[in-house]
Amino acid sequence: MSWQSELDELRAREAFARQMGGPDKVKRQHDGGRLTVRERIEGVLDAGSFHEVGGIAGKASYDDAGNLTGLQAANCVFGRGMIAGRPVVVCGDDFTVRGGSADATIKEKTVMAEQMANEFRLPIIRIIEGSGGGGSVKTIETTGRANLPGRVAGTAGYHWASVNLGTVPVVALGLGSVAGLGAARLAASHYSVMTKTTSAMFVAGPPVVERIGQKLTKQELGGWEIQTRAGAVDHAVDTEAEAFACSRRFLSYLPSSIYATPPVVACAESSNRRDEALLKVIPKDRRRVYKMRTIIETLVDHDSFFEMGQMFGRSIITGLARIDGRSVALMAGDPYHYAGAWTADACAKIIRFVDLAQTFHLPVVHLVDCPGFLVGLEAEKTATIRAGVRAMAALDQCTVPWCSIIVRNVFGVAGALHQPPGRLALRYAWPSGHWGSLPLEGGIEAAYRADIDAAPDPQAKLAEIEERLNRLRSPFRSAETFWVEEIIDPRDTRKLLCEFVHLAEPLLTPGRASFTMRP
């Protein structure tokens, strides 16, 4: 006796599931400029590597004789696959089936995807569209009751999403309108991407918001510019294919879980590479800005800098990079925004970035240009000092190896946070380094008011005092008393950073750190 008839039924059920919401709904998805969930999974994974789990779960229909006549698959597709030959879990919403809402959701599928990633120690990629299996007004009518939020499977989903932030890399792609639970799943990630013209994210969409008197389009309420500038989403791209490429690249810098160390890739570049442009990149006129990203690209392995959160907290640049083939977490001051001063948003960005480095054992490289915390009424309204001391605590708690290169300014409390307090961090200063408890500008008038007022030419006296103090502020004077350990030729920076990553490598211990990532 053969089991062929059962296998035939299995294949029939699989065929129904692959039809998703049916030809009309698939066409509507394509007409809206969006791929289907199965096309997205194929796009993000290595070709032919997807192994689906629970593919025939859904709502079946039968004739009077009990024979299968159709199957409406659940609106979640998940399974395992490969990215660059490394195993991952991928879980995607099928918007062609009831718009990804609760009516067609089997919550256990998303829970199992998160649990599988956690217990097999694999990165997870969430492809999110709709409410991500969240609520729908129609659910009340179809079930005959209202759900109490957080009951059973919902609570388990929150639990595993939270635990995974401290265990495995989590990537989230917002590839359509994302609301409610879907928005929470998008934000609860280490790296998130949305598409510029076809996606939006919000706690509740325009119809709900209109009830409180705000009539807005999807883009006005939660488009990519809103969400990336607010820091809710890390990056926005033009196409879904670009989103897939960003996901793959982000994961290439990280271990599969906290129980491994970041991968090392071959590097054909010399660690002794010197770039003459570094001698002139910092203007002698301290009022002039310069391009920090040019310095970053010069120091790291060619084309290896992967920036994160570019539109948020813009006075600090953060991203992943490779130095001699080793992954590092790199942060740098950006003088184009508030002269590099730390805002409340910049502090929040730094905290999250240091948490990422700590969670996945990434050495930190900090290119320092920080004139202090932002000052003024806006800084006080946003509680910059509270955000700043939280950043101080994050640096103090982190244990990964740290190397700071002082490029220009280091002033005040924020300047003091150019390296973790209380433990060894390598530190080098360029001759352009400029530091102190506070900038001279504005302070001279207060400290030397009597001398300035008594002078025949107050402006000339002010200039004389400023020149005298600036001579005393030479980095070489600080080096005399070991306030700064090494002043270096900027052209030697890459060589020293390559040495740093090799010194750091034996110290990167797999396992759970004393604290891990939160959203």
SS3 per residue for 186-203: HHCCCEEEEECCCCEEEC
216 with 320, same domain: the answer is: no
Give me the domain span that covers residue 138: 4-252
Q: How many CA atoms lie within 13 A of 200 on its CB side?
A: 16
State how far the Cα of 374 lies from the Cα of 383, in Å rounded to an integer.
11
362 with 422, same domain: the answer is: yes
58-90: pLDDT as tens digits:
999 999 999 999 999 999 999 999 999 999 999
- Whichever domain contains 81, its CATH number is 3.90.226.10
168 with 22, same domain: the answer is: yes
236 with 308, same domain: the answer is: no
464-516: pLDDT as tens digits:
877 777 777 788 888 888 788 999 999 999 999 999 999 999 999 999 877 77
In 21-147, beta strands by DSSP E: 51-53, 58-62, 68-73, 76-83, 86-93, 124-130
Among 252, 284, 315, the domain-final residue is 252
Whether residue 294 contacts residue 213, with contact meaning beta carbons closer than 8 Å, is answered with: no
222 with 311, same domain: the answer is: no
Q: Is the pLDDT of residue 228 over 60?
A: yes
Q: List Cα–Cα distances, 99 to 136, 455, 483, in angstroms.
A: 10, 76, 61
335 with 367, same domain: the answer is: yes
> Which pLDDT score, from 0 to 100, does residue 143 have?
64
Between 442 and 131, the more confident residue is: 131
Q: How many CA atoms lie within 13 A of 154 on its CB side?
A: 14
Highest-confidence segment of 152-161, 264-273, 311-320, 467-476: 311-320
> For the chain, what's the residue count?
519
Question: Does any domain span residue 215?
Answer: yes
pLDDT band (50, 70, 90) for residue 172: very high
Closest CA to 406 of 443, 433, 435, 376: 433
> Which pLDDT score, from 0 to 100, does residue 380 have?
96
Q: Is the pLDDT of residue 153 over 60?
A: no
Number of domains present in the structure of the chain: 2
188 with 297, same domain: the answer is: no
172 with 288, same domain: the answer is: no
Closest CA to 106 of 141, 144, 73, 128: 73
Question: Does any domain span residue 154?
Answer: yes
- Report DSSP letters for 138-203, one per residue: HHHHHHSSPPPTTTTHHHHHHHHHHHHHTTS-EEEEEEEEEETHHHHHHHSSSEEEEETTT-EEES
Per the prediction, the chain carries an average pLDDT of: 91
Whether residue 406 contacts residue 428, with contact meaning beta carbons closer than 8 Å, is answered with: yes
Q: Give the amino acid at 365.
A: V
Question: Does any domain span residue 467?
Answer: no
Question: Does any domain span residue 150?
Answer: yes
325 with 230, same domain: the answer is: no
The values of phi and psi at residue 101, to 5°, are -90, 180
Closest CA to 260 of 316, 327, 197, 196: 327
Question: Does any domain span residue 459?
Answer: no
State how far the Cα of 494 lies from the Cα of 487, in Å rounded to an integer.
14
293 with 246, same domain: the answer is: no
> Which pLDDT score, from 0 to 100, does residue 115 have?
95
Question: Does any domain span residue 455?
Answer: no
The residues that bridge with 322 in the sheet, in sequence order, are 327
∠ CA 49-50-51 to the nearest 5 degrees? 115
179 with 309, same domain: the answer is: no
Question: Does any domain span residue 456?
Answer: no
In a 3-state reduction of DSSP, which class is residue 81?
A: strand
Q: Is the pLDDT of residue 517 over 80?
A: no
Question: Does any domain span residue 313?
Answer: yes
The residues that bridge with 428 in the sheet, in sequence order, are 405
35 with 99, same domain: the answer is: yes
437-470: pLDDT as tens digits:
766 565 677 778 888 888 898 888 888 877 777 7
The values of phi and psi at residue 172, to 5°, are -130, 130
> Which pLDDT score, from 0 to 100, does residue 426 have?
96
